Structure 1
Amino acid sequence: ASLTCAHLLRALLGAFSLLFQLFSPRRPAMSGKKLPAVSNPLLLLSATQLAKKIRRKEVSSVEVVQAYIDRIQEVNPLVNAVVKDRFDAALQEAAQVDKLIEEETGGEEVLEDRLPLLGVPLSVKESYCLQGMPNTTGVVSRRGIVATVDAPPLVQLKRAGAIPLGVTNTPELCMWWETHNHLYGITNNPYDLERMVGGSSGGEGSILGAAGSVIGVGSDIGGSIRMPCFFNGVFGHKTTPGVITCENQYPPASGRDKEYLSLGPMCRYSEDLLPMLKIMAEPNTHMLSLNTKVDLKKLRFFTVPDDGGSPSTYPVSRELVEIQSKVVERLEADLGVKVQEVRFPELHYGFRIWDTYLGLSDDEGKPPKPFAQLMGEPGRPAWPLWELLKWMVGKSDHTIPAIVMGLHDMLRVFKPSPYIIKQKEKLQRDVEELLGTDGVFLYPSHPRVAPKHHHTLFRPTDFAYTAIINTLGLPATQCPLGLGKEGLPLGVQVVAGKLQDHLTLEVALYLEKTFGGWRDPGAN
């Protein structure tokens, strides 16, 4: 019998992980190096607090923007998260903000209503089009391509007064969960520079965790917001699909991507998630109940401990099992609710379900764009097998995960398994029936804390813990829960029914208050 796509990908990466050890160049050792602690108190305020201080003239936007520029210059040589800055332009825009505030006659309330993020710095995932900034997603052949427009969510954030500082690193073509490419290099975890930051919004997660940014934007088709936020100890929200437009990103959505691709905010402080989402979701904010007050005591809570022991994924580590149990204990003690443990046998097939549905054609019968074609743009499609041979002698412009993804795409069995389709449909029905409009469940963001660099090659499908939530089309918020025994961030994702994003955002506020939220990596 032919191998399934899941087995094929695992077999390919299992074989190539050995090749990687043999042929990959050695990277400079970061052992013993550590990020400096935060020294400027402005870096310890949320975007909401900063905006208020700027409006009240308690601090200038120039001071805030300069504080973040200084921090990026301090930490970026260690984490390699920001790949292109616009510091001079940002300072000019901050000066214009300060002038506007001096001349405003309508009062603080007018500014808050019209420009809720006025003067606050922002970092941006490089796959988003940000006018004047590169838009390559780490593809060497796209070197020199510069965005001529802003992606719609950035238009809204800039209209709200946010000031972009620069763009951050991604994996090649955003289709891997370690942030590494041959154009910008590899991005390091601020809590341990020998470890990975996740992907594909990995540069965002890293610079936020390093206190080089306070708010950022990411996109998520298999965990690309939640994994980096988990590994780097910050908050991230995967919005219900279809609310925030995915226009003006690279790679562009194709096939049925739009059903599973979500955009959303990434923040160090949970109170910034809701105002950012309100802004990014325009003009579709009405689809969500973001102004509805949530009483946590009236919600129904569930906990899903794991995927049932799928052979495709690592078992959930003991410390992550324990921290999720502590969340359950605190919810029950603080809110007087009963958190019910539930299990879904279909989660066993999480990766296969995600991989199957991502390969389906859209309603017009158009299949997803071939990965090899994306690898070669704006020129001719790449030949993955040829690129593998070139890589073995150090001549390929592509990373081994991208090459393997190209091979996997070429060998994919396009006729979906009826059994897998049946499993997904049953899971969808059961989850939606369980959650309704007033239920949330806890689920691990990943089976282990941030792995060492390149260890994704040995367990390539561990991202199934986040990916299955994409296939179900549900909103989810990753919440940090302190640091584990190795000083690495712990966390959990909170999942709600479709369009019930406000529920998970309220739980995020509670969890930050209860478990402390983000921790300064330089102070640990």
Structure 2
Amino acid sequence: MLLTQSALSLAADIKAKKISSRAVVEAHIAQIKCVNPRLNAVVFDRFAEALREADAADALIASTTDPESLPPLLGVPCTIKDTFEFTGMPQVVGMVSRRDVYGQKDSYAVAALRNAGAIPLGVTNTPELAMWYETYNRVYGRSKNAYDRGRITGGSSGGEGAIVGAGGTPFGLGSDVAGSIRMPAFFNGVFGHKASPMLINNDGHFPSAHGQTLNYLSAGPLCRRAEDLELLVRILAGENSPKLKSVKDVDISKLRVITISPERGPKATFDILDAQQKAVDALVKQGATHVTVDLPLIDDAFMIWSSLLADSSSPEHSFTAMMFGEYHIKHPLKALATMAVKGKKSPHTLPLLVLTLLEQFPNLATGQRQRFVDLGHQLKQQLNTILGDDGVLVMPTFPEVAPRHGMPIFKPFDFVDCAIVNAMELPSTAVPMGLNAGGIPTGIQVVSNQNNDHLSIACAVALEQATGGWIPPWRSWLAELPETTVIAQPVQVPTKAVKKTVTRKKAKLD
């Protein structure tokens, strides 16, 4: 049961001395050691330090007469995305040039979680430069889906999605500039929240955000239980937490549940449309009103997102400059030509080289870029009006369930359902909606108006109660599961635990 409980439940049991923090931490370490050799999600661990911190938490609990005064997550384990600076831990972000970079201090988000009593077990894998929706790189290799190792785990918080989905941690810290929390959460059957702009401080995150892009990038949680979302967002928000209204005050029956006409945007598969309809039906059953709207501008979502991003970025902060030291199209073109003509292996991954080319598109025609920037402002006004303070938009997180490895390069724009939400500066919660006929997670995202994070989180809680939420992807990893739990096809894992989670060696992208 420890591997299925929420962080809130575990924290309460630890403070009540029903279970020790050491026992909880040991259980999750054992699970990581069991699944990680096949999933490659956790790329660097701190198990010994975590056990010492668990013992310290147990000692603090034993010595206090007022458990309610203790930090809210005291003794609860978690994992951290490699993009966040974390004292003594690598911050490689999938880049060969950063393979020896280690944190000198805790980023704002990591410090917030640790001050709340959480115990990080390790850091997790990302795509190169955290800018692709399949997680693999030339340093650590490829991460794999918790439900089917032949499928992607998403990105850029792909390691987090896989290890949370596999029961290795109650929650993880991710970041999202174009769906990087919500897609991994969706692909791995768990919850994730991208917060309202500037609600959570991004200091210590790499790549860093500047100017208007600060409104697009957000740190946030991935977790296996919806009840953890509000607490985790409040902790991460720190001094901004008063901006987050209470989820308990939300009356689902007073909400308008909005969907976009199906002929607009990327064409979703049956699995996704079915999940969307089930989500709408579940909320309507609780009294909400369903409204369908036509948004023609959503058809230009990719160009709007990329143009707004380009318009808010400077050359020195571009992906190209971070990779090559200079912003110029010649660098990705030369690298791609070397790979294609001479067959030489680049230290960079193909998707990121392609992405640096896509980065140039809005700059090749400044007039066109401005047109899409203007359209983006129009779309933002329309969405603000449509959502108001009582509306939530239920929409796909991605057009299909997790694709097979290597397929995203043939579908480079399919992340746009998530990306446009960032460009519109809106909060969004990824919600699992069960498994398809093949045992692969389906789900949706719930979008609300700026600073109405409580509405989308409340819908996630309501949908979990109605549909079951996270369905663990195992059959025999646990000795005990609730009788009502629906079990997916098990992931095949080694029977012997490995001594060390990570060995730094040349990545094999199998």
TM-score (norm 2): 0.89
| Aligned ranges 1:49-448 → 2 under 5 Å | 49-105=9-65, 107-111=66-70, 115-290=71-246, 293-304=249-260, 306=262, 308-310=263-265, 313=266, 315-333=267-285, 335-361=286-312, 366-367=314-315, 369-376=317-324, 383-392=331-340, 393-410=343-360, 412-413=363-364, 415-417=366-368, 418-448=370-400
Contact 1:136–1:250 (8 Å) recurs in 2: no
Counterpart residue identity of residue 444, structure 2: V
Counterpart residue identity of residue 405, structure 1: L
Counterpart residue identity of residue 439, structure 1: G
Contact 2:252–2:287 (8 Å) recurs in 1: no
Q: 1:150, 1:197 → 2: CA distance?
A: 26
Q: 1:97, 1:108 → 2: CA distance?
A: 12
Return closer, same or farther for 1:358/1:414 CA change in 2, 3 Å cut-off. Answer: farther
Superposition deviation, residue 376 in structure 1? 4.0
Superposition deviation, residue 419 in structure 1? 3.1
Q: 1:512, 1:424 → 2: CA distance?
A: 33
Contact 2:306–2:359 (8 Å) recurs in 1: no
Superposition deviation, residue 343 in structure 1? 2.2
Secondary structure of 2:253's counterpart equals helix
Q: 1:430, 1:220 → 2: CA distance?
A: 23
Secondary structure of 2:204's counterpart equals coil
Runs (4 or more) in structure 1 with deviation over 4 Å come to none
Return closer, same or farther for 1:298/1:57 CA change in 2, 3 Å cut-off. Answer: same
Q: 2:125, 2:407 → 1: CA distance?
A: 19
Q: 1:407, 1:204 → 2: CA distance?
A: 28
| Aligned ranges 1:496-515 → 2 under 5 Å | 496-515=448-467
Contact 1:361–1:367 (8 Å) recurs in 2: no
Return closer, same or farther for 1:162/1:416 CA change in 2, 3 Å cut-off. Answer: farther
Q: 1:376, 1:420 → 2: CA distance?
A: 28
Secondary structure of 1:278's counterpart equals helix
Superposition deviation, residue 387 in structure 1? 2.1
Contact 1:359–1:367 (8 Å) recurs in 2: no
Q: 2:325, 2:155 → 1: CA distance?
A: 21
Superposition deviation, residue 409 in structure 1? 3.2
Q: Match of 2:495?
A: none
Secondary structure of 1:122's counterpart equals strand
Contact 1:375–1:382 (8 Å) recurs in 2: no
Q: 1:71, 1:273 → 2: CA distance?
A: 23
Q: 2:139, 2:274 → 1: CA distance?
A: 40
Secondary structure of 1:117's counterpart equals coil
Contact 2:247–2:455 (8 Å) recurs in 1: no
Return closer, same or farther for 1:59/1:382 CA change in 2, 3 Å cut-off. Answer: farther
Q: Match of 2:414?
A: 462
Q: 1:425, 1:457 → 2: CA distance?
A: 29
Return closer, same or farther for 1:407/1:157 CA change in 2, 3 Å cut-off. Answer: same
Extract unaligned runs of 5+ from structure 1. Answer: 1-40
TM-score (norm 1): 0.87
Contact 1:359–1:368 (8 Å) recurs in 2: no
Contact 1:121–1:164 (8 Å) recurs in 2: yes
Equivalences, count: 471
Q: Match of 2:482?
A: none
Counterpart residue identity of residue 428, structure 2: A
Return closer, same or farther for 1:79/1:382 CA change in 2, 3 Å cut-off. Answer: farther
Secondary structure of 2:205's counterpart equals coil
Q: Match of 1:451?
A: 403
Q: 1:381, 1:248 → 2: CA distance?
A: 28
Secondary structure of 2:144's counterpart equals coil
Per-residue deviation, residues 100-151 of structure 1 (Å, max 9, x unmatched): 111112x22222xxx0000000111000111111111000011110011111
Return closer, same or farther for 1:305/1:43 CA change in 2, 3 Å cut-off. Answer: farther
Extract unaligned runs of 5+ from structure 2. Answer: 476-487, 489-510
Counterpart residue identity of residue 397, structure 1: P
RMSD: 1.9
Return closer, same or farther for 1:327/1:394 CA change in 2, 3 Å cut-off. Answer: same
Per-residue deviation, residues 233-285 of structure 1 (Å, max 9, x unmatched): 00000000111011111111135311211221110000000111110000111
Q: 1:329, 1:320 → 2: CA distance?
A: 14
Superposition deviation, residue 290 in structure 1? 3.3
Counterpart residue identity of residue 519, structure 1: I
Return closer, same or farther for 1:415/1:255 CA change in 2, 3 Å cut-off. Answer: farther
Q: Which residue, 463, 473, 482 being the options, matches 1:521?
A: 473
Contact 1:440–1:495 (8 Å) recurs in 2: yes
Q: 1:90, 1:382 → 2: CA distance?
A: 46
Query: In terms of mean alpha carbon deviation, does 280-289 or 492-501 score higher?
Result: 280-289
Q: 2:250, 2:319 → 1: CA distance?
A: 42
Per-residue deviation, residues 2-21 of structure 1 (Å, max 9, x unmatched): xxxxxxxxxxxxxxxxxxxx
Counterpart residue identity of residue 279, structure 2: V
Q: Match of 2:483?
A: none
Secondary structure of 2:227's counterpart equals helix
Q: 1:480, 1:390 → 2: CA distance?
A: 42
Per-residue deviation, residues 64-88 of structure 1 (Å, max 9, x unmatched): 1010100000000111000000001
Counterpart residue identity of residue 295, structure 2: F
Return closer, same or farther for 1:325/1:132 CA change in 2, 3 Å cut-off. Answer: same
Q: 2:365, 2:77 → 1: CA distance?
A: 44
